[in-house]
Amino acid sequence: MSFLDKLKGGAKKEEEAPRAAGMSGGERELTIEPITRIEGHLGVHAKIDTGARKIKDAYAYSPMFRGFEVILVGREPSEAVMISQRCCGVCPVPHATSSVTACDQAYGVTPPPMGTALRDLVLGAEHLYDAEVGVVNLEGPDYSEVAMKKFNPAWWGEAQKTKAEHSAVHGFATVADIMTALNPLAGELYLRSLLVQKDGHNMAAIFGAKHPHVHSFVPGGIAKLDLSMTDLESYLTLLMHHVAFTKELVTASDDLLNFVLEQGYEDVGARDLNLGSVGSYNDPTAYSAVYEEMTDWGRKRLISPGIILNGDLVTTDLVEYNVGVREYIGSGWYEEQWAKEFETDPAGNALEYEHPWNKRTLPQPGKYGDWASKYSWVTAPRWKNWKGDGKDYSLEVGPLARMWVTAKAKLVPESTGNSLKFELPAALIPGFKYADSMAFEWKIPAKPNAVERVRARAYFHAYSAYCMLQLSMKGLELMKAGKTKVWTPYEKPQEGIGFGMSEGMRGACTHWCVMKNGVIDNYQYQAPTTWNASSRDPAGNSGAYEEALIQSPITEAGDPAGWKGIDIVRTIRSFDPCLGCAVQVHIGNKFVKHDLVPYAVPL
Amino acid sequence: MSEELNLIWLEGQDCAGCTISAKQASNPTLIDVLTGAIPGLDNLKLVFHPTLMFDWGDDATQILVDAMGGKYDPFVLILEGAIPDEAKADPGVFCVIGEHEGKLLMLSDVVKSLADRCAAAVAVGTCASFGGIPHGAPNPTGARGLLDYLGKDWTGALGLPVICVPGCPPRPDNIVQMLGHAVLAARGLAPLPELDEWHRPVEMYGHLMHELCSICGFYAGGVDAHNFGDTGCLGALGCKGIITHCNANTWADGYGGCTTIGVPCFGCTHPDFPDPPTSPFFAKAPAMPFIIENIKGMLAHSEMGYQRLKPVIEQMMPMLPEFIEELEKLMEAEKDKGRKI
């Protein structure tokens, strides 16, 4: 008897008591699976108080698993650069960047400045495509005319009367016109975004060979043959398309999202102010890959590393970040028996038993619905404030977190302490609506919520374009100085450990590698979505998705029995989930369903 | 206007990379196809695609249930990602693609059901074609590609077998052009695509990367690169172009291309990717293909040289006795030189 037959036969009882009816008293249970327009397979199970129009409880889970970590063990660490990025075809480059950084460190090799600069030009190119696709093509349809008429008809009437403040830039007279432009496969912004995003991939291909899944990242630098001015000129040409487009994207997003906030959306998807960023875009001459020098080269990144707890910036030190990371498996289906291999990090700081350099992944499948102990494949990453109160914190990562940290940290000239100020140059390019230069200021918002996550993503598109302009100029400087070497040859050691970190579109992406006998002995990674989709930790605290959903208000119109959960999907999509990333890390993933049987498909 | 044809795109054990790649295609673009701008490729409806569709939850799974009931016939089934062996997942599951009326829609079941009705089936990417990354040793989930899952003898309603478009991800144009070709063939407007033994379209995968490589002149000229960034053939750095059928000498719009920018081919379109002979990625490819190619090359070069020199040789033949005589005189002169005391 196959597993499926067993499940079909064994679950008869539950079938007779369907929970699909969903309504009882003032409470509605709503299961949304699949949540579409995200990367990967994700479902949400929510309990809604229909009287108070609030979400009482929520579980996010994903039912797909491939087992990357098992595939990595025993291979060359440099192969992890190629394989680990393949967990996700939407955001592979941060994985490649973090993985190759961990390899640089484990092999003890520093890439030449040009090698470092070219890697970051590829990473920035991916951010540019990814940010606009997220805002316009994945999240945009939730605020489109189609969605408004279906779920928030009162807003649609209001939007038709509301003039768009920046119509001189983006050309849309009213907020309703912006919503129409976001209609899937028909709206002007939706379609143009699909064309402009191609430039991001092409920029990445210039130095990455292809995208998704770039092939040029190697320990010690980058594999780029005959680097010349023609490559940088091609890159800059495509970059200016993004510079032109971001002026429309940011102003249209501001007008749309300000309107949504005015409709009472402040608390939808809101959560506590605990944010994390590992920073990105190295200073090519400062990056050494050396662990003990990480504090310095980390702080020189164009996007700052740092951790905000309860609203306060507690650190901008990457060593402090690394030492504080823990990954609990308390609520996950894993064994906890392994030897603590590393007492300290290379700088001599004590490491915990649950630190990724110590942690092993030992899966031990269990039964569903055992809520009291183990119910999930997803572990719970937490950051221990080891120099402060010693408590564990559940961090939110993503564009909102890194913009917040960078604005607060004052490590870059654009940071004012409460905003990020920068300017993009003029660019008259046919097909784009606004040719003048434009000054941008992203201000730290009142709280993290669904709307502000989307807004931060749009502003990050502009900031990323700004950083890539700076980095391209740095590339020209290096060319002029004759520093065109892209790779440092090395003697590969037999043993080594490495920690690699960069910001993916969705947030902090960190890899830990332990090499023994020249091959991978242990490889652990925490993707951005590992943090955001984290399950409950041993203390019972939720991850960011669940926190953002619980107590979130419902604005959806119509009879509660017919609710489709637009506010839930807007909240979840504001994080821009990437389950492919989160899932591979745990050889599987969170599965919380208790009474599910396979649907009998017609054969 | 052509008759309506539906497209149903499922994502299994995937990373959405093939979808992201398809979005970059240029000739035609995905938008051209979905908005019906290309004659013969008009009136296509993408009724299900997890990453692009508007609907979610029950509204989305309803489409799949209806499709399995025949509502969207005729349709082309497109699979991205591998299919796991759910028997290995006991007591868990490896790949669920939705929940309907409180029950799980298992990828493996839905693929089987839709395959029974579809006009044609296209596997996009190495995972969907041959298993790809999830299939990598030790293949923890028992992942398989569509070709293996449905079998080499399977045919859709139109009589076409599974069409495989491998690559991790495939070149953007390969995906959209192959879908376009399948649709045109389905509508009787184009010849059926010619497939090789691995069901890859010959028009895209008929040649080795090595044969199409834009820097293969360095190989012919005997110039090897031993450092990344150096000018030369990438064979010594681990290039697998000699065993990999692929046409990615540029990626999209003429940008990139693996060996073109100096990256060794890692064999990502190969049926065995990411296992040997494509890995270790930075180890040299198996020697035998090079040896065979070199012997072939030597013979061919001799033949080419002979053909080019033939007229000269023929012209020289009558003069040969005289020439030999001259040579002998020269030899004699040399001998005299040697006798000097």
What proportion of chain A, given as a percentage, has pLDDT over 70? 87
The answer to whether residue A346 is domain-embedded is yes
In a domain, A350, yes or no: yes
Catalytic residue of the set B168, B181, B245, B270: B168
Size of interface A-B (CB pairs under 8 A): 314
Whole-angstrom distance, CA of residue A476 vs CA of residue A360: 44
Judge whether residue A477 has pLDDT over 80: yes
Q: What share of chain A has pLDDT > 90, as a percent?
A: 74
Q: Give the span between the Cα atoms of A78 and A485, in whole angstroms.
A: 20
Domain CATH number, residue A105 = 1.10.645.10
Low-confidence winner among A93-97, A355-359, A576-580, B53-57 (lowest mean pLDDT): A576-580
What's the whole-number mean pLDDT along residues A288-297? Answer: 97
Are A439 and A561 in contact, with CB atoms under 8 Å apart? no
The pLDDT mean for chain B works out to 92
B188 three-state secondary structure: coil
* pLDDT digits 0-9 by tens, A47-72: 999 999 999 988 777 666 677 777 88
Structural domains of chain A, count: 1
Determine, yes or no, domain membership for A590.
Answer: no
A contacts of B255 (beta carbons < 8 Å): 202, 205-206, 234
What six digits make up the tokens of B267?
Answer: 């064999």
Cis peptide before B277 (omega within 30 of 0): yes
Above 70 in pLDDT, residue B338? Answer: no
Give tens-digit pLDDT for A119-135: 999 999 999 999 999 99
DSSP string, A540-603: ----HHHHHHTT-B----S-GGG---HHHHHHHHHT--BHHHHHHHTTS-----SS-EE-----
Q: Which pLDDT does position B280 carry in this prediction? A: 92
Residue type, B300: A
Domain that holds residue A292: 3-82+93-539+553-585
Choice between A195 and B297, residue whose per-residue pLDDT is larger: A195
Q: How many beta carbons lie within 10 A of that of residue A258, not counting itself?
A: 15
Measured in residues, chain B has a length of: 341
Residue A29: what pLDDT? Answer: 87
| Alpha helix stretches (DSSP H) within A274-335 | 294-299, 318-324
Share of residues in chain B with pLDDT > 70 (%)? 98
The answer to whether A39 contacts B264, with C-beta atoms less than 8 Å apart, is no
The larger pLDDT score, comparing residue B148 to residue B324, is at B148
**Which of A68, A202, A595 minimises the CB distance to B255?**
A202
Min distance A22 CA to chain B CA atoms (Å):
10
* Residue-level pLDDT at B311: 87
Mean pLDDT of A461-466: 98
B168 catalytic? Reply is yes
Distance CA A596, CA B252 (A): 43
Residue ranges per domain, chain B?
5-205, 288-338
- Residue A443 and residue A415 in contact, taking contact as beta carbons nearer than 8 Å: no
Q: Is A470 part of a structural domain of the chain?
A: yes
Checking DSSP bridges between strand B5-11 and strand B44-48, what pairing results, if any? parallel
Structure confidence at residue B323 (pLDDT): 85
Give dist(CA A143, CA A154) in Å, integer: 13
Query: Which of A414-428, B96-110, B129-143: highest mean pLDDT?
Result: A414-428
Asked if the model's pLDDT at residue A171 lies above 90, the reply is yes
Q: Taking each helix axis as running N to C, give the angle between helix A399-409 and helix A450-480, from 0 to 180 degrees, rounded to the nearest 10.
A: 70
Helices marked H in A263-317 — which ranges?
294-299
What's the first-to-final CA gap in chain A, in angstroms?
Answer: 18
CATH number 3.40.50.12170 is the correct assignment for the domain at B5-205: no
**Phi, psi at B37, each rounded to 5°:** -80, -15
Residue B170: which of B203, B131, B124 has the closest Cα? Answer: B124
Establish whether B258 is a catalytic residue: yes
Relative to beta strand A519-526, strand A507-516 is antiparallel
- Residue A113 to residue A483: CA distance in whole angstroms: 8
Three-state secondary structure call for residue A502: strand
Q: What is the pLDDT of residues A326-377, one digit of tens each?
A: 988 766 666 777 889 999 999 999 999 999 999 887 766 655 445 555 656 6
Question: What mean pLDDT do residues B189-196 have?
Answer: 93
Would you say how long chain A is, in residues? 603
Catalytic residue flag (residue B15) = yes
Please tell me the least confidently modeled range out of A591-600, B19-28, B229-238. Answer: A591-600
Mean pLDDT of A451-473: 98
pLDDT, tens digit, for every residue of A221-259? 999 999 999 999 999 999 999 999 999 999 999 999 999
- Residue B141 confidence (pLDDT) above 90: no
Q: Which residues contact B53 (CB under 8 A, 6 or more apart)?
A: A36, A37, A184, B46, B60
The answer to whether A389 touches A312, Cβ cutoff 8 Å, is no
How far CA B341 is from CA of B330, B333, B335, B336, B337, in Å, comes to 20, 15, 13, 11, 10
Note if B164 is an active site residue: no
B222 Ramachandran zone, left/alpha/beta (phi>0; psi -120 to 50): left
Q: How far apart are CA A544 and CA A577, in angstroms?
A: 11
Q: What is the mean pLDDT of residues A275-300?
A: 97
Q: Quick one: pLDDT band at residue A9, thresholds 50, 70, 90? A: very low
Of B95, B164, B216, B239, which one is the catalytic site residue?
B239
> pLDDT tens digits, residue range B305-321?
888 888 888 888 888 88
- The secondary structure element, H or E, covering residue A503 is strand A496-504
Residue type, A515: M
Dig out the tokens for A204 from the structure.
Answer: 């990445």
* Rounded Cα–Cα distance for residues B98 and B72 (Å): 18
pLDDT at A78: 94
For residues A597 and A198, give the distance between their C-alpha atoms in angstroms, rounded to a whole number: 41
Tens-digit pLDDT profile for residues A404-449? 999 999 999 999 999 999 999 999 999 999 999 999 999 999 999 9
B77 or B317, which is more confident? B77
Can you tell me the distance from the alpha carbon of A445 to that of A453, in angstroms, rounded to the nearest whole number?
10
- Tokens of residue B179, six digits: 């879908």
Q: So what's the pLDDT on residue B340?
A: 59
Average pLDDT over residues A523-544: 85
Choose between A601 and A255: higher pLDDT: A255
Residue A589 pLDDT grade (very low, low, confident, very high; cuts 50, 70, 90): very low
Q: List all residues of chain B from 40 to 99 with a beta carbon under 8 Å from chain A.
A: 50-61, 65, 68-69, 82, 84, 86-87, 89-99
Confidence class for position A585, pLDDT limits 50, 70, 90: very low
Q: What is the model's pLDDT at position A584?
A: 40
pLDDT score of A360: 81
